[in-house]
Structure 1
Amino acid sequence: MNISVLKRNGEKEEFMPEKIIVSLVKTGATPEVARKIAKIIEGRLLERGVSEIATKDLMKEVLELLKKENEEWYNNWLVFDRAVKKRKIEA
């Protein structure tokens, strides 16, 4: 089953677990933890039969798992998102 991610600008792209892994490693997460979280997210989406998910909803799920793993990595994500991407996460 193919899963599409609906981006903020309205475009759709194929769900790629690798993008989650890269983002998580940038927060300080180990590659092993990043892969684990990406695998959990992908499994959840497949289990629910999701064919499309909005970026913000996907991000909420990723952040929920990241926060459980390591509060510092979670905070690093938030700081990066605010400073670089000029976004605010609705928790």
Structure 2
Amino acid sequence: MCLWVPEVTVVKRDGSREPFIYEKVVVSCLKAGATLEAARRIATKVLARLIAEDRKEVAAKELTRWILGMLREENEEWYRNWVVFDRAVKRRKTEEELKQREERG
């Protein structure tokens, strides 16, 4: 599949920057348990949002929030798998971070 991806920079949690890579979204969703079809659908929605908003950069946390919301809509278990992985392997409290952000508005 050939896909045009605009130049969007992802600002990671540590402040470093890297280009947005469509395939990384797909792989992350697959690791959470999503089917290939669902993973591609989610990655395409993320890409479409970046294009629609004419984004030149996006925070990794914001991308995570978008992806997790889409995973949850598709399958609650995939969402849970991502959250558990983040806590166990990456030592992140992703779900708590998302709730705090929602509370702040």
**TM-score w.r.t. length of structure 1:** 0.96
Render the CA deviation track for 1:51-80: whole Å, top value 9, x for unaligned: 000100110000000000000000000000
Alignment of 1:1-91 (within 5 A): 1-89=6-94, 90-91=97-98
Q: Which runs of 5+ in 2 are unaligned?
A: 1-5, 99-105
Cα RMSD (Å)? 0.7
Tell which structure's C-alpha radius of gyration is larger. 2
Q: Which runs of 4+ in 1 moved over 4 A?
A: none
- Distance in 2 (CA, whole Å) between partners of 1:43 and 1:67 is 19
TM-score, normalising length: structure 2? 0.84
Q: Which has the higher contact order (CA 8 A, sep 6+)?
A: 1
**What is the aligned length?**
91
